[in-house]
Chain A
Amino acid sequence: MRQFWGRTVGRTVVEKILSEHSGREVCAGEFTVAAVDLILAQDGTAPLAIDVFNQLGVGKLAIPGKSAFFIDHASPPPRRELANDHAKIRKFVSEHSAVIFDIGDGVCHQVMTEKCTSPGDILIGADSHTVTGGAVGAFAVGMGSTDVAVGLAYGKNWFRVPETFKILLKGMFSKAVFPKDLILHLIGLIKADGANYKCLEFTGESLRHMSIPDRMTVANMSVEAGAKCGIFPSDERTKMFLTELGREDKFRRIEADKDAEYEETIEIDLSTLRPMVSLPHRVDRVLPVDAPELKEIEINQIFIGSCTNGRIEDLRIASSIIKGKRKHENVRLIVIPASRLTFKQAMDEGILEIFNEFGASINNPGCGPCCGVHQGIPSDGENVLSTSNRNFKGRMGNPEAFVYLSSPATAAASAITGRITDPREGM
């Protein structure tokens, strides 16, 4: 609780976390300097962050054991220049006793959430999808290399406390509708800049049915609506998740006060949602999968993976749809488990075998073709259906290609038919 103009006002989740880390009460709109608990950088942003860190001349890392470097974007490196960037990161990590996750360990946001991020933490990351950490009730925010270098050097940075939109979820998903469809629907509703600078706080009765992996997909794409963070309260599901990963000691309950102030409230009934598809080259151009405009779209390449939808839950759903079916001859299917743990689970559960039989190409954990560096750049004029989070022109390495986004279920159903297909038909 805080006093405001003589009355007591409740706090949002993000106000609580930023207050704790600022050593004073702060509320939306205020500027503050706050300590950070965790820092991440990846192979596309770390080399610059290292240069800036060196320019700052501080010499050592403020929180070396909590400064994590990931080699996941161009992993293993397809070019000499990138191999040299990787070598630079490894050298820095070893000289400064930082933490490294190297090729095959997985996408930074997946690994970070499995192993490091805890409720109430502040995580800053030199990657826009750092927001994924909001799934476990952390204030996780993407920044550039310079801001992250400041975190590395000083263990803190400045923040403006964001205003919060309350996203009130009720009801349950119907068959073949998933959290990816929810977040695509929300982005279509408020548009790519609809939450610019704001915090999206997800709440409501539906959270009881939403696992942490479900929440990660939603938090991950909050940045696609422009949000600074997408945050869930930390509750029983969070406790279950941390317990399964042997991190139950990190659990603490965090939720907004009942009388917290929100800039806006958006209510969504999950039971009314349909499978959604985002059309090139804008994430907020969304249509339901059965829209007539999508009927004739032939797909050349399908990617199931990424920090949005490369988790074991996603691979289970997709494999259950394709099991015993034949891949369409005109489609190339690329499957990439998001982390080493996901890879092992998929192997142990026979999921990789199903994908292999189906004719998929299974790559090592990492970002894969998501950001256009390697492992599946489409050719001119091709259509790609991807479970990742962005379809900007050129995103997958070719500005003449067209990227559609969907859930893993829609992607799997489409791999059978070779065109965008409603997953409700086969489930």
Chain B
Amino acid sequence: MKPTGRVWKFGDSISTDLICPGRYYHLRSNLNELAKHVLEDARSEFAGCVKKGDFIVAGANFGLGSSREHAAIIIKMAGISVVLAKSCARIFYRNAYNIGLPVILCDTVKINDRDELRIEMESGEIKNCTTGETLHFSPIPQIMADILKEGGLVSYLKKYGDIKI
């Protein structure tokens, strides 16, 4: 898997309330509508301009707060292929892999808004085509890599019939 795309840069502490605002609670069973509001309170132009394959690159503690899986789902629906963050809140991290959205933890300081990246999931390399720099990230736990490989936990379970640790 080698996703390529442009960077949407965000700061620290992007909460699930910023990703998927509570005032659209009534749209949770209407994901297409909900997705139109993704990250609206953090960057109002995001939902309208994001392109398939783009990346979210964030600072520390991305996805903190509520357990709403809808937050990860609407990021994926918007076309984002990978989320890169300095650190990520636990529930969001797990939710993202469960729905087949990879989250990479790495030092994101040197990645700028609108940079173009190419990510090599297997070798753990991030090539910044704009600045020419290469970043590395550590491999994810085996179980999460297996879930991601199947595109999410539901497909994983349908294939294996059980959780394999």
Contacts and interface: CB of A to CB of B under 8 A. Distances in A.
Interface of A: 31-33, 44-45, 47-48, 52, 55-57, 73-74, 79, 81-82, 84-85, 88, 125-128, 130, 142-147, 150, 154, 156-158, 160, 192-193, 196-197, 226, 228, 282, 371-373, 377, 390, 392-399
Question: Looking at A144, A197, A394, which has the most chain B CB atoms within 10 Å of its CB?
Answer: A144
B31 to A, nearest CB: 9
Nearest to A227: B90
A377 to B, nearest CB: 7
14 contacts: A48-B28, A73-B25, A81-B29, A82-B25, A143-B95, A144-B98, A147-B95, A147-B153, A192-B64, A193-B60, A193-B89, A196-B87, A392-B17, A393-B17
B151 to A, nearest CB: 12
B123 interface: no
A394 B16 CA distance: 10
Interface stretch (B2-10, B47-55, B112-120, B157-165): B157-165
Nearest to B157: A56
Contact of A394 (B41, B67, B165): B41
B67 A45 contact: yes
B135 interface: no
A143 B61 CA distance: 17
A395 B64 CA distance: 12
Interface residues of B, number: 43
B29 A85 contact: yes
Contacts of B67: 45, 125-128, 130, 142-145
B109 interface: no
Interface in B9-23: 13, 15, 17-18, 21-23
A219 to B, nearest CB: 16
Contact of B141 (A73, A160, A193): A160
B158 A57 contact: yes
Contacts of B89: 193, 196, 226
Contacts of A196: 61, 87, 89-90
Interface of B: 13, 15, 17-18, 21-23, 25-30, 41, 60-61, 64-70, 72, 87, 89-91, 94-95, 98-99, 141-143, 152-154, 157-158, 162-163, 165
Contact of B68 (A44, A228, A397): A44
A48 B67 CA distance: 12
Given A142-B67, A144-B69, 18 more contacts: A48-B28, A82-B26, A126-B67, A143-B94, A144-B95, A144-B98, A192-B61, A192-B64, A193-B60, A193-B87, A197-B90, A226-B89, A372-B17, A372-B21, A393-B18, A393-B41, A394-B17, A399-B41
A48 B69 contact: yes
A83 to B, nearest CB: 10
Contacts of B66: 127-128, 371, 390
A213 B125 CA distance: 48
A141 B12 CA distance: 24
A282 B11 CA distance: 14
A228 B67 CA distance: 12
A47 B29 contact: yes
A31 B141 contact: yes
A390 B67 CA distance: 13
B102 to A, nearest CB: 15
Nearest to A146: B98
Contacts of A128: 65-67, 91
Contact of A48 (B23, B61, B70, B94): B70
Nearest to B95: A144
Given A150-B153, A193-B61, A377-B23, A394 B18 contact: yes
B21 A147 contact: no
Given A45-B67, A144-B94, A373 B22 contact: yes
Contacts of A157: 163
A146 B150 CA distance: 15
Nearest to A153: B157
B57 to A, nearest CB: 17
B163 A158 contact: yes
A146 B23 contact: no
List the 6 closest A-B pairs by CB distance, nearest first: A372-B22, A144-B69, A144-B95, A81-B26, A193-B61, A392-B15
A147 B99 CA distance: 10
A399 B21 contact: yes
Contact of A192 (B13, B72, B142, B152): B13
Contacts of A398: 23
B15 A31 contact: no
